[in-house]
């Protein structure tokens, strides 16, 4: 498998349709620019959907990939190693943050176990049946997974994207539930951006103290030494310092772009996967929105590299897609405004011009000196 092949499969959203959407926007009763970034969002959706006016976003879905990362054993996370399944259980029970928000917005949540380190019996078969492996290796001293497992994980993400597209999902909020995932994500971003560990090391979703931050920084530094020799091959990079969830999310993002299905990114883990995907297919980021700025330095660096501007800046680091789903109402509002605001009457502009001309003529007649 060569991820570079996606470069030939992914096209940009339709530029002609976007121009048509922009022209229609000029004709609406609300002045251009008065709606701020909502105008841009509406035009982006039109191009993605190949429809003017834009269609409503009626079937969004939260898709969450879950896994445990072996590097968590170094005490670099605010949670104990191997406990990501508890986050999944809370979400399934409706008590996790993303479950609460998704319920509030009436959006279904799908959880995919890519590499949780727990007995399968602890979770429903619908969640665990896709598992690529149990946990991942400690990326500071060993590969996260084998090359075959990395390919299986990417193909898993592709298959999930196809299933969502085939079922009519019109926008995906992409999230992750993991322990140690931000360490792997920061390593990928540092490697791809050519920067040092200290520049990308954040406090993670669960929050860590200064000593844990130093351990995390050291783990990323050691993992970077292993990542740099394989930078030329995205699949090898994911196998070396990623994880099953990150590889699956990368495949999901790439295949979603192939299927013309827009995706809203959440935090640093999603940003890392997006950066890997961009390395394989430079047009792919045109199909993604950055839902929020989490405050993680690695996320900011990745989004800047991809020229993606976050819709919100709330500093949500809890994961699961929580920050991204908060941006969903903005996207839906942009679609509604672009589709439902009325256009000006065809002769409204001419009438205004005629009125101005008549006023000038009357002024000239009243004061010949100005003629």
pLDDT in tens, 219-259: 999 999 999 999 999 999 999 999 999 999 999 999 999 99
The CATH T-level fold of domain 60-329 is Rossmann fold (3.40.50)
Q: What single-letter DSSP state applies at residue 210?
A: H
Residue that is written with structure tokens 């390395």 in the block: 279
Tell me the chain's radius of gyration from C-alpha atoms.
24
Which residues touch 165 (CB under 8 Å, ≥6 apart)? 256, 259, 261
Which residues touch 167 (CB under 8 Å, ≥6 apart)? none
* CA dist., res. 93 & res. 339, Å (int): 37
Cα–Cα separations (whole angstroms), residue 305 to 138, 190, 223, 274, 325: 27, 11, 21, 10, 23
3-state secondary structure of 356: helix
Question: So what's the pLDDT on residue 305?
Answer: 96
pLDDT cut 90: percent of the chain above it: 86
* CA dist., res. 114 & res. 279, Å (int): 22
> One fold for both 3-54+336-370 and 60-329?
no
The CATH T-level fold of domain 3-54+336-370 is 1.10.1610
**What is the residue-averaged pLDDT of the chain?**
92
* CA dist., res. 324 & res. 30, Å (int): 28
Residue that is written with structure tokens 């969004």 in the block: 60
Question: So what's the pLDDT on residue 203?
Answer: 81
Element (H, E) at 221: helix 210-227
3-state secondary structure of 62: strand
Domain ranges of the chain: 3-54+336-370, 60-329
Residue 18 C-beta-side C-alpha neighbours within 13 Å? 13
Q: Are strands 288-290 and 263-265 parallel, antiparallel or unpaired?
A: parallel
Category of 136 on φ-ψ map: left (φ > 0), alpha (ψ -120 to 50) or beta = beta
Question: So what's the pLDDT on residue 371?
Answer: 42
Question: Looking at the chain, how many residues does it have?
Answer: 371
pLDDT at 137 over 50: yes
Longest dimension (CA), the chain: 94
Residue that is written with structure tokens 């998704």 in the block: 102
Report yes or no: 134 and 67 within 8 Å, Cβ to Cβ.
Answer: no
- Torsion 188-268-206-181 (CA) sign: negative
pLDDT at 351 over 70: no
* CA dist., res. 128 & res. 88, Å (int): 11
Residue 359 C-beta-side C-alpha neighbours within 13 Å? 6
- The stretch 321-330 carries a mean pLDDT of 96
- The stretch 60-77 carries a mean pLDDT of 96
Report yes or no: 178 and 112 within 8 Å, Cβ to Cβ.
Answer: no
| pLDDT tens-digit series, residues 169-205 | 999 999 999 999 999 999 999 999 999 999 999 887 6
Report yes or no: 127 and 85 within 8 Å, Cβ to Cβ.
Answer: no
pLDDT at 358 over 90: no
- Torsion 55-58-64-65 (CA) sign: negative
Question: So what's the pLDDT on residue 189?
Answer: 98
144 or 315: which carries more pLDDT confidence?
144
């Amino acid at each position: 498998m060569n991820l570079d092949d996606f470069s030939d499969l992914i096209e940009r959203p339709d530029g002609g349709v976007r121009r048509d959407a922009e022209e229609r926007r000029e004709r609406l009763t609300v002045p251009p620019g008065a709606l701020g970034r909502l105008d841009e969002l509406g035009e982006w959706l039109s191009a993605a959907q190949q429809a003017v006016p834009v269609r409503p976003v009626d079937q969004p879905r939260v898709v969450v990939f879950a896994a445990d990362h072996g590097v968590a054993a170094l005490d670099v996370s605010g949670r104990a190693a191997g406990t990501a399944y508890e986050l999944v259980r809370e979400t399934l029970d409706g008590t996790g943050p993303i479950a609460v928000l998704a319920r509030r917005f009436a959006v279904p949540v799908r959880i995919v176990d890519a590499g949780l380190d727990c007995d399968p019996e602890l979770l429903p078969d619908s969640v665990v049946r896709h598992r690529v492996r149990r946990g991942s290796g400690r990326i500071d001293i060993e590969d996260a997974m084998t090359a075959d497992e990395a390919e299986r994980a990417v193909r898993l993400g592709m298959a999930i994207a196809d299933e969502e597209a085939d079922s009519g999902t019109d926008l995906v909020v992409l999230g992750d539930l993991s322990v140690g995932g931000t360490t792997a994500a920061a390593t990928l971003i540092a490697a791809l951006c050519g920067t040092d560990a200290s520049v990308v090391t954040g406090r993670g979703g669960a929050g860590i103290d200064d000593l844990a931050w130093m351990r995390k920084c050291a783990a990323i530094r050691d993992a970077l030494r292993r990542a740099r020799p394989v930078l030329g091959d995205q699949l090898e990079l994911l196998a070396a310092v990623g994880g099953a969830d990150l590889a699956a999310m990368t495949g999901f993002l790439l295949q979603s772009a192939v299927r013309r299905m827009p995706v809203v990114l959440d935090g640093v883990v999603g940003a890392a996967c997006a950066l890997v995907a961009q390395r394989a297919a430079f047009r792919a980021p045109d199909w993604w929105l950055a839902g929020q700025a989490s405050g993680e330095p690695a996320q900011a660096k990745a989004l800047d590299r991809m020229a993606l501007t976050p819709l919100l800046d709330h500093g949500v680091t809890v994961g699961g897609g929580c920050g991204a789903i908060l941006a969903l109402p903005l996207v839906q509002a942009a679609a509604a405004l672009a589709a439902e605001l009325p256009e000006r009457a065809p002769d409204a502009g001419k009438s205004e011009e005629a009125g101005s001309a008549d006023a000038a003529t009357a002024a000239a007649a009243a004061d010949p000196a100005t003629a």
